[in-house]
Each structure stands twice: as C-alpha cells, then as structure tokens.
C-alpha cells in the first residue's frame, strides 16, 4: 500500500485541534472521509513491521513532526485508536472493506503456516519486508531449504523498512540457506561493469561484477536519452532547463510527477511560512532552515530550486504547468528522467548520471586546518549509486563520478582508511566525449517565469 501524504493530514489535525473530535467515521455508509489518509498510513507502517499490534511506533515521522509543530501530540492516541478500528474492520471475514496485498501478507506472517515445499526460491532478497522475512524464517526453522537470489549491494529501501534478508537468513540458518549473488550481468559489457565495481569495492564486496552483455563505453560526458538523479529537486531543475532550451521537448518522468508536485507545493509553502507535509521536507522548521541547509555540501541539491522559488516569490504554478507537460508514454519521449530509486530494475541504452551524486562524497570529507579526513558515505547511499551506475546498456556518462570516487578512495588510504576498507588500484584514464556537463547547477532557468520573448514559454508561467 503506497499512500500519498496530502492535504487531508492538515485537515485531520485541524479538526482535532479545533475540537472536531475524531479522524474518520468508519461506521456506516462509505464512512471514509478526508482524514482517513493518516489512518491508512499508520496501517501501512504496521503491515511492514514485525509487530503484532498497532502502536505509536507506526505513526509516520512526517505526521509526528507535524503534530509536534502544531502542539497536537496528545491527539496521536486518537489516530492509533482509529487505525486499530480500521484494522479490525479490514481483517474481519464478514467485512466488505477493501484491503491491499500487504494486509493478508501481514496476517500470514503473524502465525506462519508451513509451506508445502522442500525448497523456497526467494528473489530480490536484499529488500524483504519484515512479514516476508518472518514467513521465511518459519520455513527454515522447520528444516525447509531457502535459495536466496539477489544483490545485497543494491539494498536501497532501508528507509522504507526493507530488510536485507540475504545476510539475516544466511547467518541465522546457514545450513538451510543457499545464497546466489548476482555477480554477472547480460545488460552491459565490462567497461560499464567496471564503473559498478568501484562502488562494490567501496562497500567491501568480495567479488567483482562481470559484464556479459554487448560491448559498451563508460565516459565522463555525452549526450544520452536518459538522465538519472539522486533527488527529485535536481530532476525538476533539469526539466526546466530542457523546456527553456526547447519549449516543445517531449520528456518522460519515470513514476510520474504526482510526488514531485507535492514536494514543489511544499517548497512554496515553506517559503510562505506554512509547514511542509512531504517526507523529504518535513524536517525543516522554516524556509530559513532549508536555505541554510542548501548552502552545505550535502544540501547543495536544494540550492537551485531554493533560489528559483525565491526569485518567483513562491509562485510555483508555472513550474507545475511545465511538469504537467510530462509525456506519459516513454516511447514517445525524447529524453527519460528518473531518480535512482525509480530506476531500480530498469535499463536504457544510454544513461547520464547527474553530478549531484558527487555531493555525497564531497560531504564525506572533513577538514581540520590544512588536513582533510576522508570517510565513506552511508552504505545505502553507495548502494544507490551502484544501482545508478548499472542501468546503461551501451553508454554510461557518469559526469566524472567514477574517477572522483576512485580519487576519494585513494585519499582515504593516505588519510587514515577505516579498518577493512579495500582500495581500488588507480583507474585508467577514461575517454571524455566532447560536450557540456549535464549539470543543473550551471543552468539559470528563473527567467522562464517572466519569458516574454517566447510566447509559448511565457504562457506556461503566466499567473
């Protein structure tokens, strides 16, 4: 169950704070009013957890943050009670309440029945939910065999509650588990595989990726049909840059633009003094705090859009209209844009990696006078970059990321490498295609809002 955190969260809290009394009415008629979204989000968190009962630990962080800022934390107990009522309704065999797949999976995991099979094959085992892990543990605990297929170095959904079942099951049930790591790829050749190997090496993998596919090329910069980003913020800036260069360009955003629209509205809301509602921005108390973060290496991805919102005075309607130009059919698009998370499992002929991936490595350097200490970024961050670097079939343009990471790892050796870290040998010089870096930081698109010389572009931003 994937639920957007929309305006009804604020409506729900407003109703509680103003004495509206209650979140959702589930007793009669359709019964599910606007406030049902926070209730469903609590149930969603519960169904992904190993817990047997719904409690405050299942309230999503954005909702808790908003409750604290609105001095409404005492009302969170009401949310839990409503979630418990809805859960009982969902699992009632006599109820007509619709349920998602996660509901019956959760029920099956509470007291797992024996699986009528000697061997269970489990794919994508690096990102398992807690209920699925419990079902597999029960099978192995009864002597059943497990074949775990996946790549633990592509474990990128820990933030969403996913668990690396490969390590957990192989450690707990070594005699019942057979691990088959994905160390060969028929998507690309060895040149692109070697780009991925830089990140495998940084994560301490005990093997290297072997490219079994068609010969390809890994370069610094090139014109490609697909661009991958670390964040939605930089993706938005790329769209505006594309439209400024060619108002008729056809672009496709993998996964659609709904979540991006929510985030853009939140940026405008923060600028105007309202609270953010999306998970990506709810941690910022106000616009000043976001602006300060955007000036840091780790927050530099926010900087272009923060400047844009300020220059437009918080009026993002024109930007939203540009985003709505999204071509829903990827085959008709001239360029495909995606975050690395949305790109998981996909592949394209030619791929560019946004320069913002380097920001994570730059933020991992701390200076003390003339000395610098080099550390590894968060494991899941490196896994995300490994995923991004292995989406291309024949051409990968990494915007200088791979040589930069190689240099970072070598400098770690001289600046005090953490115990156990393995350092790649010096990489050969890689060819660089002629062309400008695809870097939204260098692109000023704020004048799109006032474009009068081009009537088409100007009309997109009027009002």
Q: Which two tokens stand for residue 304?
A: 């272009």
Which comes out higher in pLDDT, residue 19 or 179? 179
Q: Which two tokens stand for residue 40?
A: 């469903």
Query: Mean pLDDT throughout 401-411?
Result: 93
| pLDDT value at 413 more than 80 | no
Residue 428's nearest CA partner among 402, 396, 401, 393 is 402
| pLDDT interval class at 171 (50, 70, 90) | very high
Q: Per mean pLDDT, which range of 26-30, 184-188, 357-361, 452-456 is the poorest?
A: 452-456
Q: Report whether 336 contacts 330 (CB < 8 A).
A: yes
Q: Is 45 left (phi over 0), alpha (psi -120 to 50) or beta?
A: alpha
CA 148 to chain centre: 24
Which comes out higher in pLDDT, residue 305 or 117? 117
Report the run of H or E that residue 219 belongs to, with start and end: strand 217-219
pLDDT computed for residue 80 by the predictor:
92
| pLDDT value at 422 more than 50 | no
| pLDDT interval class at 373 (50, 70, 90) | confident
Work out the burial of residue 158: count CB atoms within 10 Å of its CB; fewer than 13 is exposed, 13-18 middle, 19 or more buried.
middle
CA distance 210 to 206: 13
Q: Which two tokens stand for residue 33?
A: 């009013």
Buried b (16+ CB within 10 A) or exposed e, 197-219: bbbbbbbebeeebebebeebbbb
| pLDDT interval class at 363 (50, 70, 90) | confident
CA distance 361 to 190: 24
pLDDT computed for residue 385 by the predictor:
97
| pLDDT interval class at 278 (50, 70, 90) | low
Angle at 129 between CA 200 and CA 386, to 5 degrees: 15
pLDDT computed for residue 159 by the predictor:
81
| pLDDT value at 187 more than 60 | yes
Query: Mean pLDDT throughout 415-426?
Result: 42
Pairing of strands 365-368, 119-122: unpaired
**Segment 205-241, tens digit of pLDDT:** 988 999 999 999 999 999 999 999 998 888 998 999 9
CA 245 to chain centre: 28
The rounded percent of the chain whose pLDDT value lies above 90 is: 48
| pLDDT value at 361 more than 70 | yes
| pLDDT value at 18 more than 80 | no
Q: Rg of the chain's alpha carbons, rounded to an integer?
A: 24
Pairing of strands 226-229, 348-353: parallel
| pLDDT value at 341 more than 50 | yes
Query: Mean pLDDT throughout 401-413?
Result: 91
The rounded percent of the chain whose pLDDT value lies above 70 is: 80
Dmax over CA atoms of the chain, in Å, equals 73
pLDDT computed for residue 279 by the predictor:
62
Q: Per mean pLDDT, which range of 195-204, 235-244, 258-267, 453-462 is the poorest?
A: 453-462
CA distance 253 to 328: 8
Query: Mean pLDDT throughout 48-74?
Result: 85
Q: Which two tokens stand for residue 219?
A: 């370069």
Q: How many helices (H) and strands (E) does the chain have?
A: 18, 13
Phi, psi of 98 (to 5 degrees): -65, 150
pLDDT computed for residue 36 by the predictor:
63
Which comes out higher in pLDDT, residue 365 or 462? 365
| pLDDT value at 454 more than 90 | no
Which comes out higher in pLDDT, residue 437 or 169? 169
CA distance 43 to 37: 10
Pairing of strands 335-339, 348-353: unpaired
Question: How is residue 182 annotated by DSSP?
Answer: -
**Segment 95-132, tens digit of pLDDT:** 888 888 999 999 999 999 989 999 999 999 999 999 99
């Amino acid at each position: 169950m994937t639920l957007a955190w929309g305006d009804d969260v604020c409506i729900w809290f407003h109703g509680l704070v103003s004495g509206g009394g209650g979140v959702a009415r589930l007793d009669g008629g359709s019964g599910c009013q606007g406030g049902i979204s926070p209730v469903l989000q609590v149930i969603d968190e519960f169904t992904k957890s190993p817990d047997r009962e719904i409690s405050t630990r299942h309230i999503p962080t954005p909702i808790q943050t908003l409750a604290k800022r609105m001095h409404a934390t005492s009302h969170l107990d009401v949310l839990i009670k409503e979630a418990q009522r809805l859960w009982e309704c969902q699992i009632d065999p006599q109820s007509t309440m619709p349920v998602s797949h996660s509901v019956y999976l959760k029920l099956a995991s509470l007291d797992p029945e024996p699986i009528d099979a000697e061997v269970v094959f489990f794919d994508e085992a690096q990102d398992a939910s807690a209920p699925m892990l419990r079902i597999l543990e029960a099978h192995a605990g009864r002597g059943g065999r497990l074949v775990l297929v996946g790549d633990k170095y592509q474990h990128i959904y820990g933030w969403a509650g996913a668990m690396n079942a490969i390590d957990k099951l192989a450690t707990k049930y070594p005699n019942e588990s057979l691990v088959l790591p994905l160390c060969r790829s028929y998507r690309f050749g060895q040149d692109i595989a070697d780009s991925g190997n830089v990140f495998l090496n940084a994560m301490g993998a005990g093997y290297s990726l072997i490219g079994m596919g068609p010969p390809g090329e890994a370069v610094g910069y090139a014109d490609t049909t697909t661009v991958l980003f670390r964040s939605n913020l930089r993706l938005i800036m790329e769209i505006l840059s594309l439209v400024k260069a060619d108002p008729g360009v056809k672009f496709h955003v993998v996964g659609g633009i709904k979540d991006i629209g929510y985030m853009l509205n939140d940026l405008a809301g923060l600028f105007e003094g309202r609270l953010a509602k999306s998970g990506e921005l709810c941690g910022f108390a106000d616009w000043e705090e976001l602006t300060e973060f955007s000036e840091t290496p780790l927050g530099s991805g926010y900087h272009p859009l923060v400047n844009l919102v300020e220059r437009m005075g918080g009026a993002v309607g024109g930007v939203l209209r540009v985003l709505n130009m999204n071509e829903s059919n990827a085959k008709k698009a001239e360029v495909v844009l995606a975050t690395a998370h949305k790109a998981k499992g996909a592949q394209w002929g030619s791929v560019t990696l946004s320069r913002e991936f380097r920001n994570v490595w730059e933020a991992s350097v701390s200076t003390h006078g003339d000395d610098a200490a080099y550390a590894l970024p968060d494991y899941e961050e490196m896994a995300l970059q490994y995923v991004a670097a292995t989406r291309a079939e024949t051409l990968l343009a990494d915007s200088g990321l791979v040589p930069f990471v190689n240099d970072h790892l070598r400098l770690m050796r001289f600046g005090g490498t953490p115990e156990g870290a393995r350092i790649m040998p010096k990489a050969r010089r890689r060819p660089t295609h002629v062309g400008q870096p695809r870097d939204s930081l260098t692109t000023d698109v704020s004048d799109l809002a006032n474009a009068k010389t081009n009537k088409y572009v100007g009309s997109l931003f009027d009002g």
